[in-house]
């Protein structure tokens, strides 16, 4: 699948060769650690991905993936002084798990956005390391606590299958125990 993704990246004229190389490196890291995750959705999104500089008033993080527009939005003021590998991996996880207009186990109502960001950041930290000034410390703590209550397998399956309902069900069941 990595060769297919490499071919797809090379056909996307919206992305520079340097960024293509960086994305491929991160995708390879992800694939080596999560061999069971299908990357077909990512491959489709990479065909039309656009990387765009965005206002610091609209993007509060160094970079953020927008599944509605299939854009990787860069806050250049923050991005230039951050661990780019870390933040690109965080955004890449959004692309990998994106279904329709949301990603991970976040849903259309954004009711699980904090849990989603916490879990995304946990995976990012495990893949490429933590950053000094992490925007998601509270979300990581909350996510770890919820994961202990409902089970790590539930979190993993819900995140990579965009199944917010299973998270809610598991939390309700854990409350009754």
Domain ranges within the chain, ordered by starting residue:
2-175
Predicted pLDDT at 146: 92
Q: Which is nearest to 104 in space by CA: 136, 133, 75, 59?
A: 136
Q: Compute φ and ψ for 103, nearest 5 degrees.
A: -140, 165
Predicted pLDDT at 124: 94
- pTM assigned to the model: 0.89
Intervals of the chain under pLDDT 50: none
How far is 172 from 149, CA to CA, in rounded Å? 10
Q: Which is nearest to 156 in space by CA: 166, 171, 141?
A: 166
pLDDT digits (tens, 9 = 90+) for 129-171: 877 767 888 999 999 999 999 999 999 999 999 888 899 899 8
């Amino acid at each position: 699948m990595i060769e297919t993704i490499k071919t797809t990246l090379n056909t996307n004229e919206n992305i520079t060769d340097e960024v293509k190389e960086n994305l491929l490196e991160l995708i390879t890291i992800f694939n080596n650690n999560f061999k069971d995750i299908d990357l077909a959705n990512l491959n489709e999104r990479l065909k039309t991905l656009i990387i765009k500089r965005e206002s610091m008033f609209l993007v509060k993080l160094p970079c953020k993936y927008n599944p509605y527009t299939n854009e990787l939005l860069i806050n250049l003021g923050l991005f230039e002084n951050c661990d780019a590998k870390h933040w690109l991996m965080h955004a890449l996880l959004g692309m990998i798990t994106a279904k329709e207009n949301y990603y991970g186990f976040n849903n259309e109502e954004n009711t699980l956005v904090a849990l989603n960001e916490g879990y995304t950041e946990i995976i990012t930290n495990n893949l490429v390391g933590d950053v000094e000034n992490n925007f998601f410390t509270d979300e990581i703590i909350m996510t770890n606590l919820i994961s202990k209550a409902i089970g790590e397998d539930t979190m993993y399956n819900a995140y990579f299958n965009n199944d917010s309902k299973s998270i809610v069900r598991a939390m309700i069941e854990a409350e009754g125990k």
